[in-house]
């Protein structure tokens, strides 16, 4: 079985990425906020939840991809289809060059939405899951590779947890996790500071699969690799 299938079988909903995230990105996240590059995010699912795309999209008829930082939902959320948008680095990349450099070095086939995510003090994300109808219909609701969540700055008294067991994802500053967003989850910022995270969506490649396997071995022990094959994610 491949890593996704193994995690699904064993009800694994997070996997810590065995890769360093530079602390300078904390300052960059604050700069993105200070310069006004955040928009309110999915008002129906949260309170004081904001987002900003460093890699995003604009409609094909628009000429300036740098303005794509405002588009932080899926294209369908703006009435677009996948074949009517174009992707690229946005104006936010100029404010967060180290984040852009880290993403360029991180194993990937291609990027789609890559976003700074903010929960302001007292803010919350209500219980939900992010599995599309296609994922559900195809039996892929649970998918450990669906999203990568980087905790850039995680104040005390904040959590992201699954609703059924109340288990919290063990974030620290500058830590990253593959996160199964098909699990119903919720988040809360009870601190008096901004909570900055970063979400990555995009295509995998051989190097990322190897990184996932290495991360699995570090979290669960080398014996887990005996249960995996070389299949694609």
159-169 residue pLDDT tens: 999 999 999 99
CATH number attached to the domain at 22-139+149-203: 2.60.120.330
User: What are the pLDDT digits (tens) for 125-153?
Assistant: 999 999 999 999 999 999 999 899 999 99
Q: Does residue 89 or residue 146 have the better pLDDT? A: 89
Neighbours of 207 (CB within 10 A): 12
Query: Which pLDDT band, with edges at 50, 70 and 90, does 212 fall under?
Result: very high
Nearest of 187, 111, 196, 102 to residue 147 by alpha carbon: 111
Sketch the domain layout of the chain as residue ranges: 22-139+149-203
Across the range 201-214, mean pLDDT stands at: 92
Q: What is the pLDDT of residue 229?
A: 76
Q: Widest CA span of the chain, in angstroms?
A: 52
DSSP character string of 52-106: EEEEEEEETT---GGGGGG--S-GGGGT--GGGEEEEE-THHHH-HHHHHHHHHS
Average pLDDT, the chain: 95
**Three-state secondary-structure class, residue 18:** coil
The backbone torsions φ and ψ at residue 187, rounded to the nearest 5 degrees and listed phi first, read: -145, 155
């Amino acid at each position: 079985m491949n890593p996704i299938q193994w995690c699904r079988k064993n009800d694994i909903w997070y996997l810590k990425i065995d890769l360093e995230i530079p602390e300078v990105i904390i300052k960059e996240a604050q700069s993105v906020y200070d310069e006004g590059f955040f928009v309110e995010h999915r008002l129906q699912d949260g309170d004081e939840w904001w987002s900003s795309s460093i890699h995003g999209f604009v409609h094909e008829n628009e000429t300036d991809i740098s303005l794509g930082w405002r588009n932080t939902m899926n294209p369908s959320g703006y009435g677009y289809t996948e074949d009517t948008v174009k992707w690229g680095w946005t104006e936010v990349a100029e404010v967060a060059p180290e984040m852009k450099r880290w993403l360029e070095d991180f194993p990937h086939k291609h990027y789609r939405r890559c976003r700074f995510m903010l929960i302001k003090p007292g803010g919350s994300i209500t219980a939900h899951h992010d599995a599309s109808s296609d994922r559900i219909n195809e039996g892929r609701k649970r998918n450990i590779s669906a999203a990568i969540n980087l905790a850039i700055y995680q104040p005390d008294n904040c959590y992201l947890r699954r609703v059924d067991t109340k288990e919290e994802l063990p974030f620290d500053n500058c830590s990253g996790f593959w996160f199964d967003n098909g699990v119903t989850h919720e988040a809360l910022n009870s601190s008096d500071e901004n909570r900055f995270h970063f979400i990555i969506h995009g295509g995998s490649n051989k190097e990322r699969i190897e990184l996932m396997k290495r991360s699995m071995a570090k979290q669960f022990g080398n014996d887990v690799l005996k249960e995996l094959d070389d299949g694609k994610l």
